[in-house]
Amino acid sequence: MEEKQQLEQGNPVIGYFKGAIQEMKKVTWPSKEETWRKSLTVIWFSIGFAIFLGALDFIMNKVLEILL
């Protein structure tokens, strides 16, 4: 038993994973509703930004056609 504890303490990989598991237990995870709400916010923002960039590209293309 003591050999196993010494190996675990001396092995940095095992120490890393033990530490990672301990830290994951401290995490406060969002509720299902909160996750959906934030996901939808990101989706709508992405769609809006894509529309904005598409419109900006269209306008700049028309301006360049007029200038050239």
Q: Say if CB 45 and CB 39 are below 8 A apart.
A: no
Residues 2-24 as b or e (16 or more Cβ within 10 Å = b): eeeeeeeeeeeeeeeeeeeeeee
> pLDDT digit string (tens) for 9-38?
677 888 888 888 999 999 998 999 999 999
Domain regions of the chain by residue span: 1-29, 31-68
Alpha carbons 55 and 23: distance in angstroms, whole number = 45
pTM tops 0.75, yes or no:
no
Tokens representing residue 16 in the block: 């890393």
Tokens representing residue 8 in the block: 């675990």
pLDDT of amino acid 28: 92
- The one-letter code for the residue type at 40 is L
